[in-house]
Amino acid sequence: MIGDEKFSWKKRARSFVYAWKGLKALFNYEHNARIHLVATLLAIGCGFFFGISPLEWCVVIGCIGCVISAEAVNSALEAIADKVSPDYDPLIGRAKDLGAAAVMVLAAAAVIIGCIVFLPKFIDLILLIIPT
């Protein structure tokens, strides 16, 4: 029965190996994940450059985690859908569209939050550079 297996540190460690393998596959094979990775690196770079607060770091890292996780779940959904239904199926199409919509909503929210966190800092920087 599922769940009756004894706890094993070795198996838990192996699960991290599988997770890293999945993360590597995400960025190697999923084009949208690469876009999210670039946005992640830009956000982290801006965070260091502007010296954002610990709370701002929490929000930025939370957004990054949500978007990348949603992209991974969506990619998994699409892979399974393609396996079980290689031909077009309207229900599979709807499921894939809903998964993509979830990623888009989270990414849009992350962009808005990024603007709330970073836009004032960019404006202050521009005002420092431009002589009045």
Q: Which residue, 127, 125, 109, is CA-closest to 46?
A: 125
pLDDT at 122 over 70: yes
Q: What per-residue confidence (pLDDT) applies to 131?
A: 79
Per-residue pLDDT reduced to its tens digit, 95-119: 999 999 999 999 999 999 999 999 9
- The single residue of 5, 30, 56, 71 carrying the catalytic annotation is 71
User: Which secondary structure element, helix H or strand E, spans residue 23, and what is its range?
Assistant: helix 9-29
Per-residue pLDDT reduced to its tens digit, 12-53: 989 999 999 999 999 999 999 999 999 999 999 999 999 999
Report the alpha-carbon distance of residue 47 to residue 56 in Å, rounded.
8
Per-residue pLDDT reduced to its tens digit, 62-90: 999 999 999 999 999 999 999 999 999 99
Q: What per-residue confidence (pLDDT) applies to 4?
A: 78
Average pLDDT score, the chain: 95
Q: Please answer whether residues 60 and 43 qualify as being in contact, where contact means their C-beta atoms are separated by less than 8 angstroms.
A: yes
Q: How many CA atoms lie within 13 A of 5 on its CB side?
A: 7
Report the alpha-carbon distance of residue 101 to residue 93 in Å, rounded.
12
- Answer yes or no: pTM beyond 0.95: no
Answer with the residue of higher pLDDT: 116 or 11.
Answer: 116
71 catalytically annotated: yes
Q: Which residue, 48, 102, 95, 51, is CA-closest to 72?
A: 102
What is the helix, strand, coil percentage profile of the chain, to 5?
85, 0, 15
Q: Mind listing the domains of the chain with CATH numbers? A: 11-129 (1.10.287.3610)
Q: What per-residue confidence (pLDDT) applies to 40?
A: 98
Q: What per-residue confidence (pLDDT) applies to 106?
A: 98
